Amino acid sequence: MVTGTPLEIGKHIIKPGTRVKLQLSAARLYTDTDMSIPVEVIRAKKDGPTVFISAAIHGDELNGIEIVRRLLDSPSFKLISGTVIAVPIVNVYGMLMQSRYMPDRRDLNRSFPGSTNGSLTSRLAHMFLTEIVSKCDYGIDLHTGAIHRSNLPQIRANLKDPETAKLAHAFGVPVLLNSDLRDGSLRQAADESGTKVLLYEAGEALRFDELSIRAGIKGIFNVLVSLGMVSKRRRTEPKIEPLVAYKSSWLRAPESGIVRDRKSLGDYVKRGDLLADVCSPTGAYSKPLLANRSGIIIGKQNIPLVQEGDAMFHIALFDDPKDVVDNMGQLHENLMPEIDPQSMLV
């Protein structure tokens, strides 16, 4: 979609060269309280791509909300072409309840394309897809790990598509994970409507993580620069070259018990390395969890309690995993130079 064409969202007509805040009406609560999804649309006068930026499709994933807030509040966020549609809270119901899910206990990101006559979740999915996503050329969907899990800053996308891969590299985080489209996901529905989407994963649910937030803001700017929508800023820090993982897997708890972690998020591990011990509360047993392959820990469980079979460590395979470790150090130095990385380990 080019900027000069009419853009209508929720019966609002947004003209080129304007910045508009609006509310998309959603189903009322059973208390007869109105509910709506906040949207901000920024249109340049010059033609260009249309990009949506969305957060909190899972209502407890808060980093993305702060990324969008800071982005919109930034004096340097000035479009020279195209349109940005920012939706800081998609799942407003889940956010109010600090829950990943919708009130009907469905996962919004498994309910696309949705319908006008389905469940509450299905109706919200349909509205978001038709009112926002289908009107865009590209999208950046912001996520965190689930409750009690943290993710290393990473982009997940269909890297087999050259244009999507180019945008993923432009984002500028150390890890790119080739990810197939899931049935019912926003990415799948967007792909079917011709919209190319990057999914940014970083941090933990119900928590702000400063590095993840700064990396997300920087990444969005980088993508918009690559699309010619904002002016390129003079680079003062070393550029991060992302590395692609085409395979990853979770290692699961060998036993129920209390966890003593031996490795951290972002660590390079070799096959056979001790990742954690799972112990009995009384000390009756201790079962080791060993790495079954060499790679980088891109996700891990944080709570020190597990049931047998719980996912504990997400390990991604790279051609040269040590470069990923170096790039993570560089990302921290670029975005948080005021903080000593070692101090965060205390």
Q: Both 255 and 138 in a single domain? A: no
Residue 234 in any domain: the answer is: no
Please report the pLDDT score of residue 338 as a whole number: 67
Domain identity same for 179 and 55: yes
- The CB-side HSE value for 329 (13 A sphere, CA atoms) comes to 8
Q: Distance (Å, rounded) from C-alpha 72 to C-alpha 86?
A: 8
At 6 the pLDDT is 79
- The candidate with the shortest Cα–Cα distance to 38, out of 77, 9, 80, 8, is 9
Residues of the chain with pLDDT under 70: 1-4, 338-346
Q: What pLDDT, on a 0 to 100 scale, did the predictor assign at position 181?
A: 87
If asked whether residues 189 and 287 sit together in one domain, one would say no
Whether 232 is in a domain gets the answer no
Domain coverage including residue 138? 7-227
pLDDT at position 241: 84
CATH of the domain at 261: 2.40.50.100
128 and 208 co-located in one domain: yes
**Whole-number Å distance between alpha carbons of 132 and 338:** 38
pTM of the model: 0.94
Is residue 2 in a domain?
Answer: no
Q: Within this chain, do residues 219 and 285 fall inside the same structural domain, yes or no?
A: no
Q: Do 222 and 251 reside in the same domain of the chain?
A: no
| 76 lies in the same domain as 104 | yes
**Are 204 and 317 in a shared domain?**
no
pLDDT digits (tens, 9 = 90+) for 37-50: 999 999 999 999 99
CA distances for 82 relative to 17, 172, 191, 194, 241, angstroms: 10, 21, 20, 17, 27
Within a domain: 14: yes
Taking only the tens place, the pLDDT of each residue in 233-245 is 877 778 888 999 9
Q: What letter does residue 235 receive in the DSSP assignment?
A: P
Number of structural domains found in the chain: 2
Asked if residue 344 belongs to a domain, the reply is no
Taken in order 203, 207, 211, 217, the sign of the CA dihedral is positive
Same domain (yes/no): 215, 317: no
Residues 202 and 65 in one domain: yes
What CATH number should be reported for the domain holding residue 110?
3.40.630.10
Domain shared by 88 and 208, yes or no: yes
The reply to whether 200 and 161 lie within a common domain is: yes
Contact yes or no for 159/178 (Cβ under 8 A): yes
Q: Please, which residues bridge with residue 156 across strands?
A: 177, 199
